[in-house]
Amino acid sequence: MVWVAIDNQPQRAGQRLPVPVILGVSMTAAGVVYPVTDAALHHTSPIMIATLRALAGGALLTMMLPLMGSRLPRTRRLWGWALGIGLGNTTLTQVGISVGTQRAGSAVAAVLLNSSPFFVAVIARFALAESITRLRAAGLIIGFAGVLVVVLSHPGAVGHGSQLAIGLALSLLGALGWACGGLGMRVLTQREPNLDIPGITAAQFLAGGLPLIPLVLLAGGSTDWSRPTLDAQLVFLVLGGQILVYLGFNAALGRWPSTRVYAWTFLVPAVAVVVDAIQGNLPNSTAMIGVALVILGVAIVNLPRAEADPVEPQPTGSADPRSDAERVIVPGP
């Protein structure tokens, strides 16, 4: 079962799936979210989708917790963590995706939202003492270059004037929120090795979804609830785009360094290209070059050699002789 595979409690460690499998499934689902969201926007508003994903995802995951042997946090401290993380990777991220795309255009928003691994690399260096190697830095740059090529090969409409400026700001804010929320989750899993991942994830959805409610009322817009196709699209966005993606991502953050996990998000635009190709919209050669760069970048980030050879050697006498893997990865059995 999915929840057995992603649970990171020591007594169930032997039943965990490898992190690459978890992230592969999660990022594939995240890539499919783009065309599904695009289709759903014909019948509802961006902020409505964002709010439903967060609140319906939180409610549904909460109902599933007893089946997983999990539960919502029982302490104020953990709910405080859930609120802080949820404001980042739910509230700010969903606003950045929905409103940022609407104001700046999908291409601009996609590029800026995919800059989150660089925020993670910088912040984690100081907040978590996670050093980044030259090889891993190179992989991040190559992966992001691939995202640029994929997105700009078919940029679509781009905003202008104040609309573009607002879209740029919100997209960057969404990327920063996604980065900070994930880093908060990384810190929490390091402090609490037995953290209930499904429970804290459900709490994040609920806490991060509540601030979106007034935004729905202020934004206005209409939703055609009579469309059966919209119902099916929203079901996928809640189950696949919200619950599956976040559960897998949070579980991975408990077992791998944050920069290594976030590099996998570069695969999302590549998956979207593959989905378009399956639907009959074959990508051009430029997009395929971008997909190849994304795959190459993620592969480089995950090379064993990327766990050594720090970019900035620490002063003599203060360096930790253990490798990056030994210091920050929670090893499996």
- pLDDT tens sequence across 269-320: 888 888 878 878 777 888 889 889 999 999 999 988 887 444 444 444 444 4
For the cut 80, the answer to whether the pLDDT of residue 77 exceeds it is yes
In a 10 Å sphere around its CB, with 0-12 CB exposed, 13-18 middle and 19+ buried, how is residue 147 labelled?
buried
pLDDT band for position 156 (cuts 50, 70, 90): low
CB 136 within 8 A of CB 255: no
Over residues 72-80, the mean pLDDT reads 95
pLDDT at 3 over 60: no
CA dihedral 129, 134, 139, 140 (to 10 degrees): 50
Contacts of 87 (CB under 8 A, 6+ apart): 177, 181, 207, 208, 211
